[in-house]
Amino acid sequence: MKTSIIGIGQTEFSTHSGRSELQLALEAILSALKDAGLEVNDIDGLVRYTWDNTTEAAIVNALGLPRLKYYGETEFGGVNCCGAIAQASAAIEAGLASCVVFYRALNARSGVRFGRGERILVEEGEHVVCHQPEPPGDIYSAPFGLLVPGQHHALYAQSYKGHYGLSDDAFAHMLGSVAVTQRGYANNNPRALLRDKKMTMDDYRNARVISEPLRIFDYCLETDGAMAIVLVSRERARQMNVKAVDILAAEQYIHPGSVPMFLYAKKTYSLVPEEAGDILFGKAQMSPSDIDVAMIYDATSMMVPLALEDFGFIGRGEAHDFLTSGGNAIDGNLPINTHGGLLSEGYFHGLNTIAEGVRQLRGESPNQVDAETVFMTLRGASSMIMGRA
C-alpha cells in the first residue's frame, strides 16, 4: 500500500452521548480533519460500515461537500475494520479519490445494544420470533439461545480450552492476564472509560461469569461515540506538515464459514485462513518478529491469544505461557492494546484500536513504546501493518 493516515479524531467515549449518531459522526470527522490540517472540502471519499446507521448522503449533505468521488462500504462491522483501510487505500491508489475518510458512529450503549437479544428478536403474539437468516442470532442459533456475538466468543474460548486441554485455572490465568494488563494501560489513559477503575487478578477471577468460560471482564464495553480516520497517498502525506503513519499492508479475508461469526468454520480454536499471516507479512516484507507493538480487536479477551497464534507471533498452544509471563505488558516481548483495548478504553468498532496504533507511531500513546511498526488484526477477517513515516 502507498497510503498514509494523516488524521484521527473522535468524540468522547461514553455510555450516554445524548446526541444523534449523525452528530457524533460529524463531530469525529471535523476533529479528524483538524488533526490532519485539512478543510472539509478536501474530502472526496468516504468509507463506512454497512452497519452504520448514518449514510453517505447524510454525511455529504450535512458537511455541504461539493462532491464525493468515491464512497465504499464494508460488511460485518468491526471485523473488517482493516478491510475498510484497505478499501480506502485501494481507492486512493486507483485515483478514485485523493482524501478518504473512514468513520464509525454508534450509540451502542444508549441505543441498540450488540449485547442484547432485542436487536434481533420480535414478539409476535405468544411467540418470540427471529427473522434473521445470518449469524449472530440467526434462525438456526436463536432458538437455542445463541443470540449475541459475546456468546460466540465463549464458544471459541471453550473450543480453544478443550483443544489444548487447559484447566479452568490455567485458562482463567491466561485471559485474566489480558484483562488485567489492559486495565492497567487504561488506568494511564485519560480517554478511557475505565481509567479510574483498578482491577487485580483476584478481581478478575471473582467476577461474574457471563457465558462460560468468559467472565464480565473478558467483554468489551458497549459504548456511545464516533471516530474518524483520514487517509491520503503517501506521496501527498510527505508534502504536508502532518504526523503521518504509513499503511504498509492491509488485507481482508473470508474463508468458508468464517463470516459472520465463524459458526461454520472448520476450526473454532483458530480463527484465520492458514495463509493470512504469510500474505500480510509478505506484502509488508516483514515477519512477526519485526513488529514492535500489536493492536488486537478485543471484542473479548479471547481474541488476543487467538491472534497471537494465528499470525505466528507465538507457536500454537503457547498463548498461556506468553500471556501469563507478561508478554503483552509494556516491557514484554509484544505490548498489546496499550490504550486499554475495547475491554477498558471503549468500543468504536475497532477504529479506536487503529487510532492507538497511530498514536504509538506518532509518539502520543498514554503507554508509549519505542515503536516503528504496529500490527493490527480483527479475528482473522482483516489485518494490517502500519509503520512510522
From the CB of 272, what's the least distance to another protein, in Å? 17
In angstroms, the CA 270 to CA 21 distance is: 35
For residue 8, CA distances in Å to 4, 37, 57, 60, 258 come to 12, 11, 22, 19, 30
CA proximity to 320, closest of 160, 190, 211, 195:
160
146 near another protein, judged by CB under 8 A:
yes
Q: Which of residues 152-181 bind another protein (CB under 8 A)?
A: 154-159, 161-163
For 167, the grid coordinates are 484447566
| Consecutive H or E run containing 347 | none
Whole-angstrom distance, CA of residue 191 vs CA of residue 345: 7
Complex with another protein: residue 54 or 258, whichever CB lies closer: 258
268-327 residues in contact with another protein (CB under 8 A) are 268
Of positions 65, 90, 121, 207, contacts another protein by CB under 8 A: 121
**Which is catalytic among the residues 71, 185, 269, 297?**
297
Among 37, 95, 145, 363, binds another protein (CB under 8 A): 145
Q: Which residues pair with 49 in a beta bridge?
A: 74
Whether 70 is catalytic: no
Question: Can you tell me which of 148, 194, 248, 280 binds another protein, judged by CB under 8 A?
Answer: 148
What single DSSP character describes residue 345? T
Which span sits near another protein by CB under 8 A: 55-63, 208-216, 358-366, 377-385? 208-216
3 state SS of 1: coil
- Using CB under 8 A, pick the residue from 139, 207, 279, 330 that binds another protein: 139
The rounded distance, in Å, linking the Cα atoms of 3 and 112 is: 34
Binding of residue 128 to another protein (CB under 8 A): yes
As measured in angstroms, the least distance from the Cβ of 163 to another protein is 7
Map residues 67-106 to x or -, x wherever contact with another protein holds by CB under 8 A: ----------------------------------------
Residue 383 and residue 78 in contact, taking contact as beta carbons nearer than 8 Å: no
Span 333-362, contacts to another protein by CB under 8 A: none
140 is catalytic: no
Nearer of residues 223 and 233 to another protein, judged by Cβ: 223
Question: 367 Cβ partners below 8 Å, 6+ apart?
Answer: 185, 188, 189, 330, 335, 338, 339
Q: Applying CB under 8 A, which of residues 25, 68, 142, 284 lies at the interface with another protein?
A: 142
223-158-378-296 Cα dihedral, nearest 10 degrees: 80
List the catalytic residues. Answer: 297, 347
Q: Which residues bind another protein (CB under 8 A)?
A: 115-118, 121, 124, 126-131, 138-148, 151, 154-159, 161-163, 208-214, 256-257, 263-264, 268
